[in-house]
Structure 1
Amino acid sequence: MAEIVTDALVGTTLAAWLVTDPADRRSVIFAWSRSLVEHAVDHDTVYLCDDESAAAVWLHHHLGGSSCVEDREQLDAICGPHVHRFLTLDRLFDLHHPTEPHHHLRFLAARPDMRYLGRGNALLTHHHRLLDASGLPGYFEVNDTLAWDSYAHHGYRPGSPFGDPGGPQFWPMWRAPRLPRAR
């Protein structure tokens, strides 16, 4: 799963901002992704398509807290000289994160050769059924406005943008649970 996330992230402006040295980028993004995926496998919800073409990582936020706690020492070991950007990203996300209980989509990724084939939509639809049945909202941060239409189809609405000066801009995306349709 971390390979899928890395493949999806490594060519983005976010990855370039997080790890400015192209020689380090893949290995650092992989190690960071792997630590988050491993934590989610143990404590939250992860999905992997049968053909290993796409993955989704959902973190459970209950009563305003996250089940994903990144240890500074672990982050230093993973990110090395790039740790300050990862800490900035964490701070930004923490400052703008909703406090009500919800599930946070940390990663939705498909292998580059498998993008735009509906796998991400299928993973979202599956988890949204669980969220709707539980009455829980969904949340994530996006730094590409081109993706808004796809997420709007799933009921997500963008909030006010935030970011670090000189860094990427993010839009919080919120999806209220949908009520079951009357038959």
Structure 2
Amino acid sequence: MGVGIRTAAEGDRELVVRLLDEAFQDDPVSGWVFPGREYRRATHHRLMAAFTDIVLADGRIDVTEDGSACALWMSVPADDPGHEDDDGFARMRRAVDPGNERVELIGRLTADVHPSGRAHEYLWMIGVVPARQGEGLGTALIGSVLDRCDREGRAAYLEASSERSRLLYERLGFEAGGAPLALPDGPHMWPMWREPRTGVRFGGEG
């Protein structure tokens, strides 16, 4: 069955923040940035809000019609310097959780491994509420953009934050884009790159 997908507007901000907060509470990287369940429940949503604001302003957020899943995308031009914005990382830390250096560090580390020199679509985050995970919503969200990438001959990039998500992305044609990123005293992230393909369609499958 098809999955209805629309582009989020400013009025969807709180929906997207709540969705991402719920979807990533048990994510290994979120657990590293905000260790401890109570601390994470009290603070994590502020980082999700910061990410949402950035992508609403400069990218695109796709959301399923029922509000159970969303994907945050940024279009990266070929001449992008690699998302190096030291002041931006520090500002985010001050806004989200000033005493938590990992809020700033996660931005710096992922920026360091982000490929430059070639235009691509960057899947910053994708979240599905826990009760709906495993139903194909993530595949439908990603697939709608990958179909466009294939038509336009455009690459795609992401960082997988868990083994489970890495396997999903591999099925969608992503491959290792470099060595895994080992967070200090924490989990791994996997940079993944996808070349455009022909004769493959993903969109609309639930």
Q: Structure 1's 67 and 167: CA in aligned 2 closer, same or farther, altered over 3 A?
A: closer
Pairwise CA RMSD? 2.0
- Structure 2 residue 34 is the aligned partner of structure 1 residue 19: yes
SS in 2 for 1:59: strand
Matches of 2:37 and 2:164, distance apart in 1: 25
- 2:144 maps to which residue? 126
Task: Choose from 125, 139, 164 the match for 1:146.
Answer: 164
Question: Where in structure 2 are there 5+ consecutive unaligned residues?
Answer: 1-15, 201-206
User: Mean Cα displacement is larger for which, 104-113 or 153-162?
Assistant: 153-162
**Mapped contact 2:82–2:114 kept (Cα < 8 A):** no
Amino acid across the alignment from 1:97: H
- 1:64 maps to which residue? 80
SS in 1 for 2:38: helix
Once the 2 structures are TM-superposed, how far is the Cα of residue 21 of structure 1 from its aligned partner?
A: 4.2
Once the 2 structures are TM-superposed, how far is the Cα of residue 67 of structure 1 from its aligned partner?
A: 7.4
- 1:165 maps to which residue? 184
Matches of 1:127 and 1:137, distance apart in 2: 11
Q: What does 1:1-183 align with in structure 2 at a 5 Å threshold?
A: 1-62=16-77, 63-65=79-81, 70=88, 72-82=90-100, 84-99=101-116, 100-158=118-176, 159-180=178-199
Matches of 1:48 and 1:4, distance apart in 2: 10
Once the 2 structures are TM-superposed, how far is the Cα of residue 110 of structure 1 from its aligned partner?
A: 0.4
Matches of 1:104 and 1:75, distance apart in 2: 22
- 2:7 maps to which residue? none
Amino acid across the alignment from 1:23: E
Q: What is the TM-score normalised by the length of structure 2?
A: 0.79
**Mapped contact 1:28–1:79 kept (Cα < 8 A):** yes
Matches of 2:84 and 2:45, distance apart in 1: 17
Amino acid across the alignment from 1:33: M
Once the 2 structures are TM-superposed, how far is the Cα of residue 29 of structure 1 from its aligned partner?
A: 1.7
Matches of 1:165 and 1:135, distance apart in 2: 36
